[in-house]
Amino acid sequence: MEQVLGAAMGSSRAFENLRTLTDTVGPRLAGSPGDRAAVAWALETLTALGFSRVRAEKVAVPHWERGEESGALVHPTLQPLALTALGSSVPTPEAGLEAEVVEADSLEAVDALGEKARGKIVLLWKLTERARDGAGYGKTVALRVSGASRAAKVGAIGVLVRSVSTADTRLPHTGDMHYEEGAPKIPGAALSTPDADLLHRLLQSGVTPRVRFRLSCRTLPDAESANVIGEIRGREKPDEIVVLGAHLDSWDLGTGAVDDGAGCVTMIEAARIIGAMTRRPRRTLRVVLYANEENGARGAKAYVIAHEKELGLHVAALEADSGAGPAYGFTYSTGPGSGGRLQEIAALLAGIGAGELKDGGNGGTDIAPLRAAGVPLFGVRQDASKYFDVHHSADDTLDKVDRRDLDSGVALAAVLAYALADLPEPLARIAPEAKAP
């Protein structure tokens, strides 16, 4: 394990791989030209690094395009608003929407607006807390995901959500939304936090702002993308598999350096380092770079269907999708009796400050569907204090990634993956009735 740690912390290629992904591919929303270029990049990269059985497994993905968008405060004064469509939103009418703004800070508060929302634009205004474990996101994101349909039910014509972000820059943060069956589909956009706070201040001061915005986003027929896979064959039990997952797609506004380019290059590099060792682990490491995590998780769903027959041979799955901050530990969901083994692994990681264990969770969106087959699930934990400054925004770019922090994730993933793949006996599987916490 010293060898693994040394390679990860000293001569990692993760950052250089991230550079080529972000600089020469860039944004890669499902179905876009960048998505196709990313699949080509991944195939080329895994092949060049000597992975086995490199292949692209086709996935049909949603194809939503942003188009052009703009917004402005028109009363009490005219000033531009920095906003961006939420993923899956319908467009506004060609000429845009214009209306007075009413505010709500929860879905229940949206319901309670009642008639006050009719014909209005609802501002969904809630602060996102900064936290190492990213917990602020979970407390706020429901407004983004469900706010439009809730507001439509009380007669609103559009929603503007304060970006689910800890940043104070004038860049809006997108993210997926869902329409409820039966509710009118109204357009939804995210405002940058300063722009949302401007509207909030005006309302607080007794001035009703009037806002205009225009979105030309559209949903096209499903497009073709792929899960890209490469393997490091196990020395004793090559048919038994440890999945190292991350997602290859990104939102379109930035270059997805942090979300989830960092996870992709972390898993690629962790596996490469193990593959370069004289003594490989007993089982096979399978790097899976999933399609379409951001707006559909079709890659995750396609994987379990395509690999249904071998899920019983999946002994563990590990995901990296919590940014590029310093690694500090991992989550686990397994059958009973794994604690001792995992404590031993955590002890190996304590030296780099990455030994914190947390029982629970699904490891991440892409490996979560493996739970039904009982596969033990692990999630790389990285300090997410700054993650939501850039997440889903134009600011998700390479310069936000610190090379040493990135390598700490590589070290964590490599040690954990090696240990899981080399156990004399696999960990106990999750019982079928066990629910995600």
Q: Closer CB to a second copy, residue 42 or residue 171?
A: 171
Which segment (76-84, 129-137, 217-225, 242-250) binds a second copy by CB under 8 A?
76-84
Q: Closer CB to a second copy, residue 61 or residue 257?
A: 257
User: Which positions from 138 to 157 touch a second copy by CB under 8 A, shown as an x/- string?
Assistant: --------------------
Q: Would you please indicate which residues are annotated as catalytic (active-site) residues?
A: 293
In the complex, what is the shortest distance from the CB of residue 411 to a second copy, in angstroms, rounded to a whole number?
25
Torsion angle, alpha carbons of 202, 206, 210, 211, to 10? 30
In the complex, what is the shortest distance from the CB of residue 33 to a second copy, in angstroms, rounded to a whole number?
7
Using the rule CB under 8 A, which residue among 202, 242, 317, 342 binds a second copy? 202
Count other C-beta atoms under 10 Å from residue 341's C-beta.
Answer: 18
In the complex, what is the shortest distance from the CB of residue 78 to a second copy, in angstroms, rounded to a whole number?
7
Using the rule CB under 8 A, which residue among 1, 37, 183, 313 binds a second copy? 37
Using the rule CB under 8 A, which residue among 56, 198, 357, 423 binds a second copy? 198
In the complex, what is the shortest distance from the CB of residue 80 to a second copy, in angstroms, rounded to a whole number?
8
Residue with tokens 């993933």: 413
Using the rule CB under 8 A, which residue among 3, 52, 106, 169 binds a second copy? 169
Residues near 232 by Cβ (< 8 Å), separated by ≥ 6? 51, 52, 271, 272, 274, 275, 280, 284, 285
In the complex, what is the shortest distance from the CB of residue 73 to a second copy, in angstroms, rounded to a whole number?
8
Q: Closer CB to a second copy, residue 50 or residue 76?
A: 76
Using the rule CB under 8 A, which residue among 395, 410, 421, 429 binds a second copy? 395
Position 288, amino acid: V
Q: Does 76 bind a second copy (CB under 8 A)?
A: yes
Whether residue 426 contacts residue 341, with contact meaning beta carbons closer than 8 Å, is answered with no
Q: What are residue 289's DSSP bridge partners? A: 228, 246
In the complex, what is the shortest distance from the CB of residue 207 to a second copy, in angstroms, rounded to a whole number?
8
Q: Does 394 bind a second copy (CB under 8 A)?
A: yes
Q: Closer CB to a second copy, residue 25 or residue 228?
A: 25
Q: Closer CB to a second copy, residue 172 or residue 230?
A: 172
Q: Does 255 bind a second copy (CB under 8 A)?
A: yes
Q: Closer CB to a second copy, residue 80 or residue 336?
A: 80
Nearest CA to 254 among 364, 401, 88, 36? 401
Q: Closer CB to a second copy, residue 20 or residue 343?
A: 20
Q: Does 73 bind a second copy (CB under 8 A)?
A: yes
Residues that bind a second copy (CB under 8 A): 19, 23-27, 33-34, 37, 73, 76-80, 82, 168-171, 193-194, 197-198, 201-202, 205, 207, 254-255, 393-395, 397-400
